[in-house]
Chains A and B, each alone.
Chain A
Amino acid sequence: QKEVEQNSGPLSVPEGAIASLNCTYSDRGSQSFFWYRQYSGKSPELIMFIYSNGDKEDGRFTAQLNKASQYVSLLIRDSQPSDSATYLCAVNEESSTLGRLYFGRGTQLTVWP
């Protein structure tokens, strides 16, 4: 059973701080990694994806990938109250041509003013 583990949270940071969300995965052959944001009662929204080792930046978001350590993280700079949500890490299954994803249970982030 392939697993995706996220720090359980909840994570609480003040407005303007950096929020760091972490994820480890068990499928060593996984090639693509996704971060979704999910507001309470809403559906997941794709915010970042990363395929190669290193950092990928998009605005206030930075995804970091280390395949050797089977670790992917999401940094949110200058956190805003509107960033308060659950963040889901998703990892693809190596052998799946149909793009089967394994999701973590999510980390709940609260940004307080």
Chain B
Amino acid sequence: DAMVIQNPRYQVTQFGKPVTLSCSQTLNHNVMYWYQQKSSQAPKLLFHYYDKDFNNEADTPDNFQSRRPNTSFCFLDIRSPGLGDAAMYLCATSFTGGNQPQHFGDGTRLSIL
């Protein structure tokens, strides 16, 4: 089945130790999104790509970066995680953006020690 796959499902890292989360998709969608979701809060958009065109939300912290080396893969890099970065990170895709629905992967739960 076509889908959005995130790895790992659970990630534990130490305060300040860089971490990379990955997302792949077999839907052949043009747009990929990264969200951060904390408990009982709405998902918060961090970045999105249309193909390789990168869009950074104005309030995304500077220690968050993203890469999309090809259509299928997208990565979220957190250079120096702080305790406040513990959250669920969600990857989503959309065929062309605009009015199209977004489809989410299973998420990566990030814990900071």
Contacts and interface: CB of A to CB of B under 8 A. Distances in A.
A49 interface: yes
Interface string A96-112: 11111101111000000
Given A51-B99, A104-B42, A98 B48 contact: yes
- Chain B interface mostly: loop
Given A44-B43, A98-B55, A99-B31, A34 B105 contact: no
Interface of A is mostly: loop
A32 interface: yes
A43 B41 contact: no
Contacts of B103: 46
Contacts of B99: 31-32, 51, 92, 99
Given A100-B45, A106-B42, 17 more contacts: A34-B102, A43-B88, A43-B90, A43-B104, A43-B107, A44-B90, A49-B101, A51-B99, A90-B102, A92-B98, A98-B48, A98-B55, A99-B96, A99-B98, A99-B102, A103-B43, A105-B41
Interface of B: 31, 40-43, 45, 48, 50, 55, 88, 90, 94, 96-107, 109
